[in-house]
Amino acid sequence: IPFYLTVALAGFIAALIMPRIPPLSRKADTYVNEEADDDSEEVPDHHNVFTYGYAKAVEQGSKSTGVKEFFKQGAQNILDMWMGVAPIVMALGTIALVIAEFTPFFSWLGVPFIPLLELMQVPYAQEASETILVGFADMFLPALIGASIESEMTRFIIACLSVTQLIYMSEVGGLLLGSKVPVNLKDLFIIFLERTIITLPIITLVAHLLF
């Protein structure tokens, strides 16, 4: 339970901050059809927010073309994802895993985090630093690399951070690159770093309270 609550807390705070800072804050507020988002719709006087929302949901539901068309569109979306996104996920994920397993690249990238971890009094700061940026390759790599660390507190921090970082090239990152969302590899890495910097102090604070 402490693990899930910590992840939820850190993730919630990150969700509040991330849309307000670059690169997400610089993305156009438009729909997929490139029309500008219009938030000017107001609740009519004879409705409250709940009843108006319910009425709009019923109105939208009445436009449904039926169960058959629903499953047809769902199957089409699944095939589009398999054919268009899966190759990107497999290619980028494999490359990232090879780099993480057979080169010290991510260990070098983690060096700047050592002073920060030491400042926050995280045990085994050097070992923990090696797991911070490797999460960009795959969510499970930090936990695997940090499994031998003796400190339970440090393992807790690594596990929580690997989930709240959210952007993994073997999963979410590849899906985003293969979708219509206007982000590139540079944007994803910046978002990953920002989520790391935002959530790490929160997770560490909770870890100190628990351990």
Please indicate, yes or no, if residue 143 is contained in any of the structural domains. Answer: yes
The parent domain of residue 104 ranges over 1-25+90-211
Q: What is the percent of the chain with per-residue pLDDT over 70, rounded to a whole number?
A: 93
What pLDDT is stored for residue 62 in this prediction?
Answer: 82
Residue 60 has pLDDT above 90, yes or no: no
Please indicate, yes or no, if residue 209 is contained in any of the structural domains. Answer: yes
What pLDDT is stored for residue 123 in this prediction?
Answer: 95
Tell me: the pLDDT tens digits for 130-169? 899 888 888 888 888 888 899 999 999 999 999 999 888 7
Rounded mean pLDDT of the chain? 86
Closest by CA to 178, choosing from 34, 97, 81, 91, is 81
Tell me: the pLDDT tens digits for 85-138? 777 777 776 787 788 778 888 888 889 999 999 999 999 999 999 899 888 888
Tell me: the pLDDT tens digits for 3-30? 999 999 999 999 999 999 999 998 887 7
Please indicate, yes or no, if residue 58 is contained in any of the structural domains. Answer: no
Going 122 to 126 to 129 to 134, the CA torsion angle's sign is negative
Please indicate, yes or no, if residue 11 is contained in any of the structural domains. Answer: yes
The gap from C-alpha 11 to its chain's centroid, in whole angstroms, comes to 9
Find the mean pLDDT for residues 181-206. Answer: 93
Please indicate, yes or no, if residue 138 is contained in any of the structural domains. Answer: yes
What pLDDT is stored for residue 36 in this prediction?
Answer: 58
Closest by CA to 192, choosing from 12, 18, 7, is 18
Please indicate, yes or no, if residue 44 is contained in any of the structural domains. Answer: no
Number of structural domains found in the chain: 1
User: What string of H, E and C letters represents the secondary structure of 28-83?
Assistant: CCECCCCCECCCCCCCCCCCCHHHHHHHHHHHHHCCCCCHHHHHHHHHHHHHHHHH
The residue written with tokens 């351990």 in the block is: 211
